[in-house]
Structure 1
Amino acid sequence: MALSYSQALIAVILAAVLNYFVGQVLQWWRLKTLTSQSSCAKPSTTQTRWPAGLGRLIRILGIRGDVLENWLGADFRSHGFWTFAIEAPLVPTASIFTAEPANVQCMLSKNFGHWGLGPARAKKFGPFLGVGVFTADGDIWARSRAVVRPAFQRKQVSDLSATELHVSRLLGRLGDQPGDDGWTSPRNVMPYIYRFTLDNATQFLFGESVESQLQSDVGEKEASETQAFEEAFHTATTGVGLKMFIGPFYWIVDCRSAFRRACRLCKEYTVRFVDQALAVHAETKKEEKEASEPVDDEKHSPEKNKGIFLRTLVEATQDRTELRDQLMQLLFAGRDTTATLLSWSLLCFAHTPGAWDRLRTEILTMFGPGGDEGDELISFESLKGCTYLQSSLRETLRMFPPIGVNGKQALCDTVLPTGGGADGSQPIAVAKGTPVLFTTYIMHRRPDLWGDDAHEWKPDRWSSGLRPGWSYIPFNGGPRHCPGEQFALTQAAYTLMRLARTFDRIENPDVGDVFEKGVGLIIQPKKVNLRFHRADVV
């Protein structure tokens, strides 16, 4: 006899419930065995009455002020340990939070194969960034990494000629219309910095800048297209950041038409550069075939000589979608990482007496106030030799790492080396599928790792050759270490050098918590209100 619709539905529900409970029993047995074998213990654990991450969503939406401090910081303080877990009804595994260097090293390096990003990362990032080095696991990630890595060779990263053009435009914007006393009017400099890093990153990645700093100087059509891309990119990145915070409710952002439209526009804009590079590649291969010998791209027309990064990618793959996704992911990292590093650095300099004077003295000693003779000394290597400049960047990345909260998912039953037991020192048995969030922001500010002044911006802590190991991972670590680290550091160092040559004083007139952070995937200040004094005005 055929089952009725209601009977079939009840059967499916009962089967699902049975499958869930059988899975829970099997998981319990596996973890019990693993716990016994590895002398594991449970971490400090909180039970929430809200199911499926709903409590986390309600709490985050109710937070006012600094989300990282008032959410994660408060949780770590309430548990009293640097690793804890949260269990929720209807969720098969607990969520583990850790700020322990040993656990981070285990996930990112020692037991790298036991941990992945999991399907949730692709669902949250995918509509905007597609599939690539920041969203994939396994063979797809390995291929993406292999495709991207050669494009970040030192030769490309150390070329500062294109950067100078965009920095000059930034200086013009920041220093325009000074008063008779040489001071500019206070303004939020973040929009200027983000446009600069967008122009610089697209120049490096696409071989052609979107010229967002020149919107008022270009034709109406070009300006409107650039502005639309800039606004869409901001909307999409903000949406991805919100997805990461609200966890399993990320689909709420996907339902917003503005987010979907922004993602579509960014992809359409980026793929134009991919098509240009593919056309050049096809023409080059055609000429090689006709000439029966390799054709040197460097001897081609200027149009073909643009975009070393994109040309390198095209040599590795001619898949249009793959190229677009790789560019989108690297643009996302290249624009925001450098922009926030510069924004936080300037804010810290403005609020640390004597810091800007020290930076400017070092820069003038190394390179002079400006001119052909001093400019010839500026290079990747000489910027690395500016001790206080490099220490300042390291300290800013300690206080404000680009990604404050990152996550992994256990790909198999495994063990974290510490965080369990009454004193938090025993290993923790972790079930397959368990999400573990490691909080770089909290770890970088632990007083027991960095001293009682861990919450203070002090570049001199790096002057004695400090080597903190896995306590300091602003660019991640292990096989997934960020390939663009040197690009971001070099661009930031060069920009600060040029700023220090141009302006002899910098001030933030705001009062209150000027270091309050905005909500997003990247840790960024809510605003950076600054005024500058031109060095050429006495």
Structure 2
Amino acid sequence: MSFASNIATTMLGLLKSHPEILLALSCFLLLRQCLGMLPRLLGKLHRVHDYCAEVVRASGLTLLFKGPILSKLDFIVTCDPANANHILKSAFADYQKGPDFPEIFDVLGEGIIVADDNSWASQRKSAHALFADAKFRGFVAEMSKGMVESALVPILTRAAELGEAVDLEDVFLRFTFDSSCKILIGVDSNSLSDGFPEVSFVIAIEVAEEVVLLRHATPMWWWKLMRWLNVGPEKTLARARETIDAYVMQTIREKREAICEASSSSSLPDMLSVYLQNGHDDKFLRDMVLNFMIAGRDTTAAGLAWFFWLMSKNPHVETKIYEELKARFGEDDVQQFKVFDAESLHRLVYLHAALYEALRLYPPVPYNHKWAAKADELPSGVLVEPGTRILISMYAMGRMKEVWGEDCGEFTPKRWITKHGTVKYEPPHKFLAFNAGPRSCLGKDMALTQMMVVAAAMIYNFKVEAVEGHVVEPRISVILHLKNGFLAKVRKRRDC
């Protein structure tokens, strides 16, 4: 008798004499079938972005995730650029946000982030016309430079003089919140000021982002039950939404009253004023403000925070950017701080390359959520059933050697520079920080403008050093925030 037969005979005897073992084994197998891969995901939720990259890498860039039976948590995860190009561009009409997406992101209402079909097309057309307006673009560029000069530099100067550690992600979130308020609603919120005043609206947005990501890993019936009972994370989200709605609706009322009084109307081309004058109702305006606030504030701030964390880990890159700035602008009086306008920074190749490389490794929006309207086959050969949810992981794509080469995990700005010394172009479906296809980011130019103006001013005038022992890792959120912020010491460049 073979060894395998002996084992089988022994197991059968054990099961006959101890039927409870058979029952326990059957329950285990049934539970595993019912729960699918969810328990494993929940066990890795604290490092969900890196875990996703690991399992997708092991699965050849595309993975079918099986959730619990009847949970609607089955979905395809991919970081294959060919699949991304197909989903986001070639077969764009067949891949939508889907019927579940507005429910998961219900806090965003019917804004452009969650909208599909005609609603999305109409909102994008209106926003595109405004973003393309030369007066509006000039306003954004001048406002960004002015805020760096009047708010960011003074705050960093004070931190340098006191020798205090400062959470740079918090600083950037306040900077982008203040600038987004000016762009969207024409208001000076002054959150980036001495004492760092608490802004309940901002806290509520961050709470909402965390709960929304948890919904992705929770059966829909379960979080809907919690929402109905008003318990757990759903109770927290409900309170956050009350705060969000109160702030936005008060802003709309005040802006409407100001426009009605000709003497009080603002000459600045903020978005809310433009949309109000076009006759939109309060519900539309509420959703517009919130959607663009999250798109403009959170993504740019997260991108800047990861960029400067990478600078602290790669001081040779910071030095090369500083040398590029000196070569382009010279060295002014070392007693004076210098702030640059966006137009003068466009020819700085290495600064561009370093920003793109940071966005490749740490895309502010780590996932793109899609839903298949009909049956299809992806370029990788994966069959897609109607109603299938798909997650494109931009975070994982930046870590795939099949996409970016053997050094994919390294921070290497030179990969973005051609042999002719110009910024290298990469197709959007490979570099997905600003999305691809018809839904590509409308605010890409504005975001890059802000990032370049901030990065150039900080590197030219200051040196940033991470606080020793401070742990930096991604937070569980739909935006790639830093879990513990980024604690750093700032020194004046002339004192280094």
TM-score, scaled relative to structure 2: 0.83
- Equivalents in 1 of 2:174, 2:386: separation in Å? 43
- Equivalents in 1 of 2:361, 2:303: separation in Å? 10
Q: Does 1:214 align with 2:193?
A: yes
Deviations 1:167-221 (A, max 9, x none): 2322322332546xxx83333322222111111111111111321123749xxxx
- 1:25-36 paired onto structure 2 within 5 Å: none
Q: 2:48 aligns with which of 67, 91, 105?
A: 67
- Equivalents in 2 of 1:368, 1:268: separation in Å? 49
SS in 2 for 1:166: helix
How big is the shift at 1:348?
0.5
Assess if the C-alpha contact under 8 Å between 1:244 and 1:521 holds in 2. no
SS in 2 for 1:66: helix
How big is the shift at 1:476?
0.8
- Equivalents in 2 of 1:341, 1:148: separation in Å? 23
- 1:478 alignment partner in structure 2: 437
- Equivalents in 2 of 1:172, 1:303: separation in Å? 30
- Equivalents in 2 of 1:172, 1:60: separation in Å? 44
- For residue 392 of structure 2, what is the amino acid of its counterpart? F
Assess if the C-alpha contact under 8 Å between 2:86 and 2:379 holds in 1. yes
- Equivalents in 2 of 1:134, 1:454: separation in Å? 30
SS in 1 for 2:315: coil
- 2:213 alignment partner in structure 1: 241
- 1:184 alignment partner in structure 2: 163
Assess if the C-alpha contact under 8 Å between 2:210 and 2:478 holds in 1. yes
Q: 1:107 aligns with which of 81, 87, 98?
A: 87
- For residue 146 of structure 1, what is the amino acid of its counterpart? K
- 1:122 alignment partner in structure 2: 102
- Equivalents in 1 of 2:236, 2:295: separation in Å? 22
- 1:49 alignment partner in structure 2: 32
Closer, same or farther: CA 377–525 of 1 in aligned 2, 3 Å = closer
Structure 1 residue runs of 5 or longer lacking an equivalent are 1-46, 218-222, 284-299, 419-426
How big is the shift at 1:410?
0.7
Q: 1:353 aligns with which of 305, 315, 330?
A: 315
- 2:76 alignment partner in structure 1: 96
CA RMSD, 1 decimal: 2.8
- 1:170 alignment partner in structure 2: 152
- 1:506-525 paired onto structure 2 within 5 Å: 506-511=464-469, 514-525=471-482
- 2:397 alignment partner in structure 1: 443
Q: 2:409 aligns with which of 455, 464, 467?
A: 455
- 1:304-319 paired onto structure 2 within 5 Å: 304-319=266-281
Q: Does 1:494 align with 2:453?
A: yes
How big is the shift at 1:368?
4.2
Closer, same or farther: CA 510–67 of 1 in aligned 2, 3 Å = farther
Closer, same or farther: CA 48–366 of 1 in aligned 2, 3 Å = farther
Q: Does 1:260 align with 2:223?
A: no
Q: Does 1:467 align with 2:425?
A: yes
- Equivalents in 1 of 2:213, 2:447: separation in Å? 20
Assess if the C-alpha contact under 8 Å between 2:74 and 2:389 holds in 1. yes
- For residue 386 of structure 2, what is the amino acid of its counterpart? K
Assess if the C-alpha contact under 8 Å between 2:73 and 2:217 holds in 1. no
How big is the shift at 1:363?
1.9
- 1:203 alignment partner in structure 2: 182
- For residue 402 of structure 2, what is the amino acid of its counterpart? D
- 1:534 alignment partner in structure 2: 492
Assess if the C-alpha contact under 8 Å between 2:145 and 2:339 holds in 1. no
Tell me whether 186-195 or 393-402 shows the greater mean CA deviation. 186-195
Closer, same or farther: CA 307–369 of 1 in aligned 2, 3 Å = farther
SS in 2 for 1:523: coil
- 2:293 alignment partner in structure 1: 331
- Equivalents in 2 of 1:253, 1:332: separation in Å? 25
- Equivalents in 2 of 1:117, 1:414: separation in Å? 16
SS in 2 for 1:471: coil
- For residue 62 of structure 2, what is the amino acid of its counterpart? T
SS in 2 for 1:49: helix
- Equivalents in 2 of 1:378, 1:346: separation in Å? 18
Deviations 1:398-420 (A, max 9, x none): 001111122211112222222xx
Deviations 1:85-128 (A, max 9, x none): 134533689521111111111111111111110122111211x2
Structure 2 residue runs of 5 or longer lacking an equivalent are 1-29
Q: Does 1:84 align with 2:63?
A: yes
Equivalenced residues, count: 449
How big is the shift at 1:494?
0.4
Assess if the C-alpha contact under 8 Å between 1:367 and 1:377 holds in 2. no
- Equivalents in 2 of 1:91, 1:65: separation in Å? 22
Closer, same or farther: CA 103–178 of 1 in aligned 2, 3 Å = closer
How big is the shift at 1:134?
0.4
How big is the shift at 1:270?
1.3
- Equivalents in 2 of 1:253, 1:363: separation in Å? 54
Closer, same or farther: CA 450–430 of 1 in aligned 2, 3 Å = same
Closer, same or farther: CA 525–370 of 1 in aligned 2, 3 Å = farther
